[in-house]
């Protein structure tokens, strides 16, 4: 996990929260995926389709919700 990240306890079965300071950390490849921008991690496990307000993962057990403090 990268420095200055705060790991948040979350059950993705209840939804995929988003915000400018929230990221999904793929525990398969280690990549952070912004929760508010289209994209996916390197291994393709985590994806975000911001235009449609969707996010998900092939293996939700390998994803952590993390908060990255916004820079001033």
For residue 26, what are the contacts with CB-CB under 8 A and spacing of at least 6? 32, 33, 41, 42, 43, 45, 46, 57, 62, 63
Domain boundary assignment for the chain? 6-10+17-67
Q: What is the mean pLDDT of residues 34-46?
A: 97
- The residue that leads in pLDDT, 40 or 71, is 40
Residue whose structure tokens are 């059950």 = 11
Q: What is the mean pLDDT of residues 32-40?
A: 97
pTM score of the predicted model: 0.90
- Measured between alpha carbons, how far is 32 from 57 in angstroms, rounded to an integer? 13
């Amino acid at each position: 996990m990268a420095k200055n990240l705060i790991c948040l306890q979350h059950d993705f079965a209840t939804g995929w929260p988003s915000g400018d300071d929230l990221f999904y950390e793929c525990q398969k490849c280690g990549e952070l995926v912004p929760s508010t921008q289209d994209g996916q991690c390197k291994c393709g496990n985590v994806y975000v389709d911001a235009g449609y307000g969707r996010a998900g993962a092939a293996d939700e057990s390998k994803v952590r919700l993390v908060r990255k403090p916004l820079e001033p």
